[in-house]
Amino acid sequence: MPNSVKWLGHAACQVTTTGGCVILIDPWITGNPGCPVKKEDIGKVDIILVTHDHFDHMGTDIPDLVRATGAKVIGQPELVGILQEAGVPAENTVGMNIGGQVEVAGIKVTMTQAFHSATAGDAVGYIITLEDGKTIYHAGDTGIFASMELLGRIYSIDLALLPIGSVYVMDPLQAAYSLTLLKPGKVVPIHYGTFPVLVQDAGEFVKLAGEKAPGVPVEVLKPGQEIVI
Ligand SMILES: [Zn+2]
């Protein structure tokens, strides 16, 4: 079985690895207008990664998901502290910070910078290295930044999950340019279409990515669709 990455709408993504590990990133399930599943239908989860504490990323389901699955939740210490107050047992949390790497269930997770606001701690992104070495970059919410080029040099990114919706995150032009820095094997645009104020579809991003980074295939998913890496 290849690794698969399913888009659950907005920034929420579900990775299932060749080794059977399930990783949820930014699990805004309940209340997410794009999410095709209910939290009860999520099933097995081993790792939950949270990029920052805004409602459209942290959501409200994490305590229930942890109770049902025993998953380990990874985030900045301040965010993890909020989750502990909300009932997530301390032994199910892993606090870390930008630049660090932790290994959970055979998956290597590196926290990266992101340029965005947060109530507790900083907004971040993640480099996720799967058991077979395949590498996913989830940028979180961010504008473009020059050290994306460093991330592209240090890590061989097979798949980038990039926000393109503008207003709160990169617009399609910045997201397209970021591909020239990150040099991923392919890209899936996320964080658009969810709110009326956001860019509503991936058309402009597809066009601009084709101009700025013609070597990077763009995979536009519908919520609930998945790709393999
Ligand atoms: Zn957001």
Q: How many whole angstroms from 191 Cα to the centroid of ligand 1?
A: 7
Q: 119-169: per-residue pLDDT in tens? A: 999 999 999 999 999 999 999 999 999 999 999 999 999 999 999 999 999
Could you tell me the distance, in angstroms and rounded to a whole number, from the CA of residue 53 to the centre of ligand 1?
9
Report d(CA 48, CA 25) in Å as an integer.
Answer: 6
Q: How far is the CA of 1 from the centre of ligand 1 (A)?
A: 31
- Residue carrying the six token digits 């870390």: 96
Number of domains in the chain: 1
pLDDT at 62: 98
Can you give 67-91 as a three-state secondary structure string?
Answer: HHHCCEEEECHHHHHHHHHCCCCHH
Domain limits for position 66? 4-228
pLDDT at 84: 98
CA 197 to ligand 1 center in whole angstroms: 12
* CATH assignment of the domain containing 178: 3.60.15.10
**pLDDT band for position 1 (50/70/90)?**
confident
Q: What is the pLDDT of residues 69-119, one digit of tens each?
A: 999 999 999 999 999 999 999 999 999 999 999 999 999 999 999 999 999
